[in-house]
Structure 1
Amino acid sequence: MRRALAGTLAGLLLAGTAACGIGDGGSDDRRLEVFAAASLTPAFTEIAREFEDRHDGVEVRLSVGGSSALAAQIGEGAPADVFAAADEPTMVKVEQEAGEDLSPVVFATNTLVLVVPVDDPAGIEAVDDLARAGVKVVLCAPQVPCGAASRRLLAATGTRVRPVSEEQAVSDVMGKVTSGQADAGLVYRTDVLAAGDRVKCIQIPGAARVVNRYPITALGRSGRSALAEEFVEFVSGDEARTVLAEAGFGTP
């Protein structure tokens, strides 16, 4: 009888554990890990909230940063369900690492602008001023989408710049400008809208010809692939597009 009672108690304990979602992956199945480019932070924060509101019990966890750094983490096995990059070449690298066609969808576009501190201590009025001696310019690193685009745009305008710092994310460039550590930097127009009156914005001639296209894909590395596909579809839909437009992103 003691053995029978012990077996019954063990069975009840196991049943209770399963009911709590421990060991069966119940809670994890409703948690979505989304890796997104830093420039998407404000828009994706709102989009994630709207997605959660429409999917009962779902939690969207955002990991934001430089697209290249996120891609490297995914290549090393980071548990990402969705990846949204700031340019297509970075997505291609992720596909190559995965060894499969992930069928990414372009859902937004972005262009670059020149930003300076509100008091503009270096007297920057145009992109040509970045070539002046003593002007502290900060850019994204060349391997980062905003860095690659910055160099294409500067080359198109014939402006030679020696940056005092090269950052791994566009948010870091903005941080250097708003803190006064830099006289100027190139960031996305969406970052300017998010910064509000903390910076002064200067348009760059020809910027509309250097456009970053943002792709998103489900990575399908977990049992949440169906939910990941739903998120990708939601980001590409009308509701999310309204949020993206308000943040300053262009349409695909």
Structure 2
Amino acid sequence: MSSTSRIASRRAAPAAVAALITVAGCGNGTGEGAGENAGSAAPGAGSGAASSGRVTGTITVMAAASLKESFTSLARTFEQQHPGTKVVLSFGPSSGLAGQITQGAPADVFASASRKNMDQVTQAGDAASPTTFARNQLTIVTPASNPAKVRGLSDLTKPSVKTAVCQAQVPCGVVAATVFRKAGVTVKPVTQEVDVKAVLSKVTLGEVDAGLVYVTDAKAAGTKVAQVAIPADDNASTDYPIAPLTGSKNPATAKAFVDLVLSQTGRQVLTGAGFAAPS
């Protein structure tokens, strides 16, 4: 079977994306509804799109959960720059999104919090030539009052301190394990969450004493959390690649969105959210 037929076959497979990821739609031109659950109301990838190379119609962007705030803002900007377009945003763990894409879930753009998960998609033939656009590091967050008096990584080793991290296969879980290894500490989390937003939620709700999240998520939480910095020698980072998907039914619009993310406007939004530039 040719690679074209193989990709087409995967695209015809029943999509299970609604069961595993949250879909958020940005309103056409105004950004209304951004961040809300679009559910079954979200049109399929490329819905209403022309195949003439014009930037129009709908695209679905699958993105790491830590990109929620910045990509919601960029989707609004994109719709304003290109009247008649709509960006449907699907956020979740990069590992889960990559699996959905390779199993045939319809989408147009993938933005991962890990090169490994992007490699999974490119090796399957579902994307090509990804570009790294951002870098992120971890920080410790606690409820605003820091009831457990967490002052550093060593405090997370105490049995009395309830700590949340991401699941081991999720990029933020991989980075957390690297941090613990570099710091020479053994942390036994009371919960391992599906993505970084779930870890943050456990902290803001006071269900745990501390959590490891990206600095961007801590910044987005504002006064709901207190931050405890991780020393540079112990910290670790992850790169964020982005690529249009080869099965997109609206490739011109998909490419235009990727171009926006890589533009100076995209850089300003990402920097404002706390992301670092890729090295």
TM-score band by shorter chain is: 0.7 to 0.9
TM-aligned CA deviation for residue 87 of structure 1: 1.2
Give the aligned CA root-mean-square deviation in angstroms. 1.5
Single out whichever of 192-201 and 121-130 deviates more from structure 2.
121-130
**Secondary structure at the counterpart of residue 124 of structure 2:** helix
Question: Is the counterpart of residue 194 in structure 1 residue 220 in structure 2?
Answer: yes
Match 2:62 to one of 25, 35, 48: 35
SS at match of 2:107: coil
Structure 2, unpaired ranges of 5+: 1-45, 51-56
CA–CA distance in structure 2, aligned partners of residues 209 and 194 of structure 1? 20
How many Å apart are 1:154 and its aligned residue? 1.0
Q: Which runs of 4+ in 1 moved over 3 A?
A: none
Determine if contact 2:179/2:234 at 8 Å carries over to the other structure: no
Given the alignment, which residue of 260, 264, 273 partners 1:238? Answer: 264
Per-residue CA deviations over 1:155-203 (Å, capped at 9, x if unaligned) read: 1011100111111110000000111111111000000110000000000
| Aligned residue identity for 2:181 | A
CA distance in 2, matches of 1:213, 1:250: 9
1:62 maps to which residue?
Answer: 89
Q: Which has the higher helix share?
A: 1
Q: 2:106 aligns with which of 75, 79, 82?
A: 79
Aligned counterpart for 2:133 among listed residues 72, 94, 107: 107
Number of the residue aligned with 1:203: 229
In structure 2, the partner of 1:215 is: 241
Q: Deviations over 1:202-223 (max 9, x none)?
A: 0011268511110000002133
The number of equivalent residue pairs is 227
Which runs of 5 or more structure 1 residues have no equivalent in the other structure?
1-24
Matched, 1:44 2:109: no
Instruction: Tell me the amino acid that sits aligned with residue 218 of structure 2.
Output: V
State the TM-score, normalized to the length of structure 1. Answer: 0.86
| Contact 1:34/1:80 (<8 A) preserved | yes
Show the counterpart of 1:119. 145
Deviation at 1:88, TM superposition (A): 0.6
Percent identity between matched residues is: 44
